A and B are shown apart, each in its own frame.
Chain A
Amino acid sequence: MTHPERRDSAEQAEYRAHCRDWLAAHHPGEPPVRLPTSALEIMTDQQMDYLRAWQGAAYAAGLVGCDYPEAFGGGGRSDCQRIANEEMLAARTPYFPNIIGLGMAAPTVLHHGSEELKARLLPRLFSGEDIWCQGFSEPGAGSDLASVQTFAERRGDKWVINGHKVWTSLAHFAEWMILLLRTDKGHKYEGLSYFVVPIAAALGRGVTVRPLIKMTGETGFNEVLFEDLEVDDSYRLDELGKGWQVAMTTLLFERGAGDLVTPRSGGLKSSSAHTTSARAVMDLAQRTARGKGLASEDPLLRDRMVRQAIREEALKEHQRRARVPALIDHPMRLPLQNKLLASELAQDTAALALDVAGPAAGLYLGDEHAPAGGQWPLAYMNSYGITIAAGTSEVQRNILGERVLGLAKSK
């Protein structure tokens, strides 16, 4: 598995060479500031400027959105984004800041937007010029997403929006929001519609963004209030009353089960995204004293570390098996497990690392003696964001039980 290029098609091989050459010559270098674990915790303009410049450069070189149609700013290639992602990861690049735009807004706009919106929005989304955020959850609508109450009232060609969205990552940097709201109070699902809304332009004039502080002490997500915000009907995706179906597209991609690979870079040493593997826990155990020896000699910890390594290997193999029709029984069976498995794996691995670290597990980011600079307690706490966001693990199990196993709906 160390040489993925040996499985490339001719187009992919040529494209991989291009990615590799470009990355060798244009790596953005060490960041001028400390970067948070992921794009969702970007806090300062300095961090954002550096990351936005990186995404823009990668887009200009054809490494972002290469599987999208050329007419909408894409590269018009087929099954090549995966290649770019592999090469960007191998080259240890920073991550892209426009994570919600690339992972959720772009495929949703592609599948449900008008031609005009696609042409106007996607190129600036790919380049990172426009950062995107997602307006789905509300104080009264969490797992029961279809109960959103943010309301748009029709006035001629315009809609007037009032409501309250929460957990809105990146809203403080975002030009655009994908917004699920209610256009009809009489029907739960059929009363929903889906808009793209230029929120930055309306800050202070109908839109208020307020930061929420996470349990980790980091900022990064927000609440967004709408007061009589007027938007044009041309910003609606798909038909009136089809908001739920459009939202399902967004969620499918958010859970990594969509038909387009999300552009993804990463691997830069100063971001901790790749220190949370079973291998990293094993390394930690080999540096951590336990009793008269090392934590890596403790049979119970060894067993748990190997369990994590096995789960990691299997998750990696799922990506491959999902592409072999003869070895899958239901087309969505593996893709719909992605989010559940990845988030619970990350959580359990971080929890294990804390057990390995022992009392030093309590040392946090500001302590010079903290193992891995305090990244493990940070990763453990942040893992709950992932097992809760984008459909909790409980909701994921409902989806799998109902859509894949065909069990009766639990609502």
Chain B
Amino acid sequence: MTQPRNYGFEEEAGMLKDAARRFFGERLPVDRLHGLVATDYDPEGVAPLRWDPAIWDEMVDLGWTSLAVPEDAGGLAMPWVAVAGLVEEAGRAALPAPLLTTLQTTALLRHLGPSATSALEEIAGGVAATVVCLNAGGCPGPGSLRASDGRLDGEAWFVQDAGKCSRFLVLAAEEDGAWGLYWTSADAAGVTIHSDAIVDLTRDQARVQFSATPAERLAGDGLQLWRAAEPELWTLLSADMVGAAEWQLQTTVEYAQQRKQFDRPLGFFQAVKHQLVDVMVAIDESKSLVYSAACALDHEPERRRELALMAKASASETAGFASGRSVQCHGGIGFTWECYVQLYFKRQEHSRRLFGDAATHRAEIARILIDRDAA
């Protein structure tokens, strides 16, 4: 199979992306975001849940939770490139709402066939969901989480937006070495959510404990399905990082145009100008790879894993680079709590190590390209 020349990014996708940029621009300008999530500054405390649940309802009304849901489950089945466009804009707004996690959960559910239809219907109807799959090492696989007779026991780590989601898609070990995916509720019996004290102010994260929690077993080999869905998870997270990096670039460029030292705007000095150009170059590399990967999800299954790994490896580097430069080029003010760049810095540092960091992903690409392991 081959990819279409325009990535399959049709007019509808462009309209969605434009609408998202307008929506976030009006609904969540960065001063409002700062007022929402950066009210307190206790570095040693566990922050309360800081978000505006009303924005979730508005996004549901706009149909965004049903975008990636198949038609037979009441969704719009938009191509992944269109979904990536929306996520890029959400990243640009550093959206503190479980849109990315819900879309990632949707992606995993789509690999499950008819057994996931009712879960997908719930998401299309506006239920926020997240994947509960990582062990204490941040990897999917052996941990303490066990399932037997439709009950979950043990704990999972690094659950994204756990406090904002009402449904969990849980990867749990079963007897005889098998793995299953289970659909359950945040308020089901035996669920305890221990909020993590994290650096990122635009997300929440938790360690989730289960004790004889009833859950619905969905069809298939859980670990294999997780692996099959990783390209979608990586690509969407990368789109978020690319959007956030673009905000970091544009905001820092504006500052370099306005702020004067030695009677010149900062951007006059090549030591600053060239850094900002290098950030732009890095963003464009990641952005081209994100849309190429998203297009592969839609059109080129044989390269989906390789291209998604490239997108994530690139976006993780870009996220770190853009973050560092955005603070450095803002100078003293960039180091303060009141300056907005801190919000994006923290979100990017969180994202870039989630679901595998750049070096881990490059090592896997090496196995595909050099050792020619099947992707």
A296 within 8 A of B: yes
> A286's contact among B14, B17, B267, B370, by CB below 8 Å, is which?
B370
B363 touches A302 (CB 8 A): yes
Can you list 12 contacts pairing A with B, beta carbon distance less than 8 Å? A286-B370, A302-B362, A303-B363, A314-B284, A314-B310, A321-B7, A326-B85, A327-B7, A337-B281, A341-B281, A407-B253, A407-B256
B7 touches A324 (CB 8 A): yes
B314 x A401 contact (CB < 8 A):
no
Q: Which residues of A contact B362 (CB under 8 A)?
A: 302-303, 306-307, 310
Chain A residues with CB under 8 Å of B272's CB are 407
Q: Once the chains bind, are B292 and A405 in contact (CB under 8 Å)?
A: no
- Asked if B189 lies at the interface with its beta carbon under 8 angstroms from chain A, I say no
Binary contact track A321-345/B, C-beta < 8 Å → 1, others 0: 1011011010001100100110000
Contact with A along B248-281 (1 / 0, CB 8 A): 0100010011000000110111101110111011
Chain B residues, Cβ within 8 Å of A305: 366, 369-370
Question: What chain B residues lie within 8 Å of A334 (beta carbons)?
Answer: 284
Instruction: Tell me if B13 and A2 are in contact (CB < 8 A).
Output: no
On whether the beta carbons of B289 and A313 are closer than 8 Å, the reply is: yes
B9 at the interface (CB under 8 A from A): yes
10 new A-B contacts, CB < 8 A, other than A306-B369, A333-B284, are A2-B2, A7-B2, A302-B362, A302-B366, A305-B369, A306-B365, A324-B7, A327-B9, A337-B284, A404-B280
Q: Are B284 and A318 in contact (CB under 8 A)?
A: yes
Within 8 A of B (CB), among A153-167: none
Question: What A residues does B366 contact at CB under 8 A?
Answer: 302-303, 305-306
Chain B residues within CB distance 8 Å of chain A: 2-7, 9, 13-14, 17, 85, 246, 249, 253, 256-257, 264-265, 267-270, 272-274, 276-278, 280-281, 284-289, 291-292, 307, 310, 313-314, 359, 362-363, 365-366, 369-370
Interface of B is mostly: helix
Q: Is the CB of B289 within 8 A of A317?
A: yes
CA–CA, A327 and B17, complex, Å: 10
Q: Given contacts A7-B4, A303-B366, A326-B9, is CB(A405)–CB(B268) below 8 Å? A: no
Residues of B within 8 A of A397 (CB): 270, 273-274, 277-278
Of the candidates B6, B268, B369, the one whose C-beta lies within 8 Å of that of A409 is B268
Task: Quote the shortest CB–CB distance from A319 to chain B (angstroms).
Answer: 9
A402 to B272, CA, bound (A): 12
Give bound CA distance, A229 to B256, whole Å: 48
Q: How large is the interface on A (under 10, 10 to 19, 20 to 34, 35 or more residues)?
A: 35 or more
The chain A residue sitting closest to B296, CB to CB, is A1
Q: Which residues of the partner chain B approach A329 to less than 8 Å between Cβ atoms? A: 246
A405 touches B365 (CB 8 A): no
B310 close to A407 (CB less than 8 A): no
Pick the residue among A306, A398, A400 that contacts B280 (CB under 8 A): A400
B5, A323: Cβ atoms closer than 8 Å: yes
- Is the CB–CB distance between B310 and A333 below 8 Å? no
A320→B284 contact, CB < 8 A:
no
Quick one: closest A residue to B274, CB to CB?
Answer: A397
Given contacts A303-B363, A334-B284, A398-B273, contact A406 B253 (CB under 8 A): yes
Could you tell me if B288 and A314 are in contact, using CB atoms closer than 8 angstroms?
yes
Task: Indicate whether A3 reaches chain B with its CB closer than 8 angstroms.
Answer: yes
Q: Which residues of B have CB within 8 Å of A327?
A: 7, 9, 85, 287, 291
When A310-B365, A314-B289, A401-B273 are in contact, do A406 and B281 touch as well, CB less than 8 Å? no
Does residue A292 face the partner (Cβ distance < 8 Å to B)? no
**B79 shortest CB reach to chain A, Å:** 13
Report Cα–Cα, A309/B369, bound state, in Å: 9
Q: Does A311 contact B (CB under 8 A)?
A: yes
Contacting residues, chain B, for A402 (C-beta < 8 A): 273
In angstroms, how far is the closest chain A Cβ from the Cβ of B254? 9
Q: Give CA–CA (A400, B281) in the complex, Å.
A: 10
Residues from chain A with a CB closer than 8 A to the CB of B289 are 310, 313-314, 317
- With the chains together, A407 CA to B274 CA distance in Å? 10
Contacts of A354 in B (CB 8 A): none
Complex Cα gap A410–B273 (Å) = 9
Interface pair B274/A401, CB less than 8 Å apart:
yes
Shortest Cβ gap from B323 to chain A (Å): 18
* B280 engages A333 (CB within 8 Å): yes
Q: Roughly how many angstroms separate A296 CA and B371 CA in the complex, as a whole number? A: 9
Q: Is A34 an interface residue (CB 8 A)?
A: no
A29 within 8 A of B: no
| Chain A nearest CB, measured from B16 CB (Å) | 10
Closest 7 CB pairs of A and B: A407-B267, A317-B288, A326-B14, A401-B273, A408-B268, A314-B285, A302-B366
Cα distance A310–B5 in the bound complex, in angstroms: 20
Is B291 a contact of A317 with CB atoms below 8 Å? yes
Cα A378 to Cα B206 with chains together (Å)? 55
Q: How far is the CB of A175 from chain B (nearest CB, A)?
A: 39
User: Could you say which residues of chain A place their CB within 8 Å of the CB of B277?
Assistant: 397, 400-401, 405
Query: In the assembly, what is the distance between CA of A10 and CA of B4, in Å?
Result: 16
CB distance from A127 to the nearest CB of B (A): 32
